[in-house]
Amino acid sequence: MKVTRKIGYSFGDFGISISYFIVGFFFLYYLTDILGITPWLAGTVVFIGKVWEGIANPLIGAFNDRVKSTFGAKRLFILFGAVPFAISFILLWLIPASLDEGIKYVLAVVSMLIYSTAYAFVSVPYMAVVPVATKDYDERTQIIGIRAVFSTMGIILGGSVALLVSSFTDEALGLKYMAAGFGVFTAITLVVAANSIKGLEQVSATVTGPIKINLSQYWGLVKEKYVVILLVFKYLGAIATGCLMASIPYFAKYILVDTGSSTYGVAIYTITAALLIPVWYKLTRRFDKRRLLLIANTLGAVVLLGVGLLVQEGSTLLFFAGCGLLGVIMSAYLLIPYSFVPDLVDYYAHKNGVRHEAVYFGSWMTIHQIGIATSGLLLGFFLGTFGYDGTLEVQTPEAIVAVRLAFGLIPGVFLVLAAVVLQKYGITRKVYQDVQAGLKHHA
C-alpha cells in the first residue's frame, strides 16, 4: 500500500477522533454543569447512546460485509456517511439549557441515539479497511501507527473544546461555534479518507434485492476463544479510558481550579504519546505485544493514582508532568490494541474458511461502546453517590474525593485488569505467520 494512501486513509481518523474525544471528554460535563441535569440521569444518557451504538456496530458490520458496490462497500459507507455524521455531531450541542430537566433529558437521549447511529455507520467500515489494505503483519501495525498519530492530533484539537468554551461568557454559545467548526472539519477528513482508498477494495457489481444477514452465524463467530479474550480486554480498557476522559473536566475545574489546564494537559499527553509511537512500534517488532501492554498499563495505573491523589490547587506543573509521563507510557495503548484485530480476521479465516472483516471490527467496536456506556453510567452513579451537584459553584469534600478517585483510581484498576486478561490471547507473531503461510497455500 502506497504511503500517500496510508496517510490519506489515516487522515479520516483525525475527524473521527475529534468527534469521539469531544463527546467522551465533554458530553457528561456538558449535561451536568451546563444543562444542569443530575449526574445519574446524565450517566444514563451516555449509557443509552453507547449501548445503542454497540448494538448498531455488528448490525452495520454484518450489512457492510454483504454489500456489493462499484464504489467498494467500505468506501461507500465512509463517503456517503460523512455529512450525516457531521450533522449528528452538531445536534448534540444545541439543546437549550432553559428547558425543563425532563425535556432536556429526552432531547439529550434522542440526539445521542442519532449521533451513535451515524458514528457506527462510518466508523465500522473505516476500521475494517485495514485487513483489506495489506496482509503484512508489520505493515498493518504501521498503518495503525499512522492512524494513531492522526488520532492524537484529533484528541489535541478536540481537547481544545474546554479552552474554547471557557473563553466565552456564554458557554452554550461557545459550544455551538465549536460544534459547527469541528463538524464541518470531520466531514472533510472522511471524504479525504474515502478518496484515498478508491479502487483498493475488490470491485463487484451492485447486488439487487434484499440483503439477508444470518445473525446466528455472526454470533457464532464472536464466541470463538480468542475473540472472547480480545473483546473482554477491549471492554475493560474502554471502561478505563471512558472514565479517564470524562473525569478530566471535573478534575481540572474542582481540583486544579483551572478549566483551561485540561486542554493543555490533554495536549501534552497526546503530543508525547504521538512522538513515542515509533518507539513502541519498534518494540513490537522485538517483543511480545501482550507483555508490552501489561507493563505499560500497570505503569499507567501507578501514574494516574499518583496524579489523582497528589495534585492540589495550583499544582499545574505537577499535573502537566504527570500528563507527559502518562503519554510516554500509554502511547503503547494507542498503538497496540487495534493491531490485534486484523490478525484475528486472518486467523479465523484460515480456521473457518470465511472472511468477516467488518463483523470482527464491528464486534470490537460494539464492546468498546458498551465499555464506554458502562463508564458513563459508573461515573455518573459514582459522582451522584458522593453528592456531586453540577449546579453548585463549590462541591462538598465528599464530592471532591469522588472526583479524585474517578480520575486516579478507577481508570487505573481497569487498565491493569484489561492487560491481565490479554495475556491469555494466543495469536502471536509466530502463530500469525503460520496462518499466513496456510492462507497462501490455499489461495
Residue 209 lies in a domain: no
pLDDT value, residue 219 = 67
Closest by CA to 262, choosing from 270, 251, 254, 273, is 251
Rounded distance between C-alpha atoms, residue 384 and residue 380, angstroms:
6
- Nearest one of 428, 436, 439, 434 to 354, comparing CA atoms: 439
Distance, CA of 73 to CA of 200 (rounded, Å): 11
- pLDDT, residue 208, reads 43
Split into its structural domains, the chain has a count of 1
Cell numbers for 436:
499466513
pTM for the full model? 0.78
CA distances from 236 to 20, 240, 337, 403, 421 (A): 18, 6, 12, 20, 9
Taking the C-alpha atoms of residue 6 and residue 362, their distance in angstroms, rounded to an integer, is: 21
Enumerate residue ranges in the chain where pLDDT < 50. Answer: 204-209, 211
Residue 74 in domain: yes
Domain-located, residue 127: yes
Residue 131 has a pLDDT of 72
- 253: containing domain: 3-198+215-442
The pLDDT value recorded for residue 209 is 47
DSSP string computed for 89-158: HHHTT---TTS-HHHHHHHHHHHHHHHHHHHHHHHHHHHTTHHHH---HHHHHHHHHHHHHHHHHHHHHH
> Are the beta carbons of 220 and 363 closer than 8 angstroms?
no
Residue 204 lies in a domain: no
Largest CA-CA distance found in the chain, in angstroms, rounded: 67
- CA–CA dist 305, 393 (Å, integer): 26
Confirm whether 281 is domain-assigned. Answer: yes
Q: Which pLDDT value is given to residue 204?
A: 44
pLDDT recorded at residue 207: 43
pLDDT tens, position by position, 66-96 = 777 777 778 889 999 999 999 999 999 999 9
Q: What is the pLDDT of residue 341?
A: 76
pLDDT digit string (tens) for 89-139?
A: 999 999 998 899 999 999 999 999 999 999 989 988 888 787 777 777 677
Question: Per the domain annotation, does 186 fall within a domain?
Answer: yes
Residue 208 falls inside a structural domain? no
How far is it, in rounded angstroms, from Cα 326 to Cα 19? 22
Residue 138 falls inside a structural domain? yes
- CATH value at residue 171: 1.20.1250.20
